[in-house]
């Protein structure tokens, strides 16, 4: 069985995601030792690494976040884009400072996703249960085998994407811009007959957007928020502050 990581990298006028991807791939090489395929577009300039393949696509635009371009409309095609039998899809701003993902890759679950995330600064919980009639999942990391069931999940995500406003009304989702987290939550809810499904059992350690990243190294990060500074090491981190491209 082939195993590898699938990344989506599209530079925007505001953020150099290609620089973030370079660091993400370096940590995958260091801690996971898995091959990497990057789905990108012709306008994004990646520094190609030895064990990294690229797949150039014409991206769909139009989605925004905080009134800025947000190129997040390709992940529903991960089943077709992935050349691997077992695939880890992750955000390029998810940095693998441990081998946790590798252990999950060795599990027997055919589809895994997080349902919980937390602020590493230990402030209020990252909860969205009042914004919809179902819990979202965090599409930050997806792990799947190419099985009929996972194909059905991705096919349902495509259907949700094509009719997103209808599903927002159906599930009373207050966040109207397309969001993969809700699309996969809806698909999993429907494919599993409104029953529980397999989850990655921990919570995503998240560096919030208002936190300043003072330092990044091979083992972790120094983070400051207001008058508090912390060092996080040997733990995977999801960075919402995209200034890490320039740290």
CB 82 within 8 A of CB 95: no
Q: How many CA atoms lie within 13 A of 125 on its CB side?
A: 7
pLDDT digit string (tens) for 69-97?
A: 878 889 999 999 999 999 999 999 999 99
**What burial class does residue 6 get, using C-beta atoms within 10 Å of its C-beta: 0-12 exposed, 13-18 middle, 19+ buried?**
buried
**What burial class does residue 57 get, using C-beta atoms within 10 Å of its C-beta: 0-12 exposed, 13-18 middle, 19+ buried?**
middle
**Cβ neighbours, 10 Å, residue 124:** 8
Higher-confidence position of 41 and 51 = 41
Three-state SS letters, 116-170: EEEECCCCCCCCCCCCCCCCCCEEEEEEEECCHHHHHHHHHHHHHHHCHHHHHHH
Distance from CA of residue 224 to its chain's centroid?
23
| Alpha-carbon span 114 to 112, nearest angstrom | 7
The percentage of residues in the chain with a pLDDT greater than 90, rounded to a whole number, is 75
Q: Is the pLDDT of residue 68 over 90?
A: no
Question: Check: CATH 3.90.550.10 for 3-204?
Answer: yes
Bridge-based pairing state of the strands 94-95 and 237-239: antiparallel
Q: What is the mean pLDDT of the chain?
A: 92
| Alpha-carbon span 151 to 148, nearest angstrom | 5
DSSP E strand stretches across the chain: 3-9, 36-40, 52-56, 64-65, 68-69, 86-90, 94-95, 111-114, 116-119, 138-145, 203-207, 212-216, 220-225, 228-233, 237-239
| Alpha-carbon span 189 to 10, nearest angstrom | 29
Q: Is the pLDDT of residue 178 over 70?
A: yes
pLDDT digit string (tens) for 84-133?
A: 999 999 999 999 999 999 999 999 999 999 999 999 988 766 666 667 88
Q: Is the pLDDT of residue 40 over 70?
A: yes
Q: What is the pTM of this model?
A: 0.94
CB 16 within 8 A of CB 24: no
């Amino acid at each position: 069985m082939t195993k590898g990581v699938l990344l989506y990298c599209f530079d925007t006028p505001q953020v150099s995601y290609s620089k973030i991807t370079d660091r993400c791939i370096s940590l995958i090489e260091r801690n996971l030792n898995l091959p990497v395929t990057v789905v990108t577009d012709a306008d994004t300039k990646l520094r190609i690494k030895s064990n990294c393949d690229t797949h150039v696509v014409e991206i769909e635009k139009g989605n925004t976040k905080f009134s800025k371009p947000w190129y997040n409309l390709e992940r529903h095609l991960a089943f077709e884009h992935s050349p691997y039998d077992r695939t880890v899809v992750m955000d390029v701003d998810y940095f693998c400072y441990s081998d946790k993902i590798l252990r999950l890759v060795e599990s027997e679950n055919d589809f895994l996703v997080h349902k919980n995330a937390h602020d590493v600064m230990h402030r209020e919980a990252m909860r969205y249960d009042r914004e919809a009639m179902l819990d979202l999942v965090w599409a930050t990391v997806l792990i799947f085998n190419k099985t009929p069931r996972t194909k059905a999940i991705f096919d349902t995500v495509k259907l949700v994407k094509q009719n997103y406003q209808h599903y927002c009304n159906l599930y009373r989702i207050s966040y109207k811009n397309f969001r993969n987290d809700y699309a996969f939550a809806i698909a999993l809810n429907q494919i599993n007959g409104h029953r529980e499904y397999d989850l990655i059992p921990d919570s995503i350690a998240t560096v919030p957007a208002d936190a300043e990243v003072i330092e990044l190294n091979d083992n972790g990060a120094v983070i400051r928020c207001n008058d508090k500074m912390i060092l996080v090491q040997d733990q995977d981190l999801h960075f919402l502050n995209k200034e890490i491209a320039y740290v």
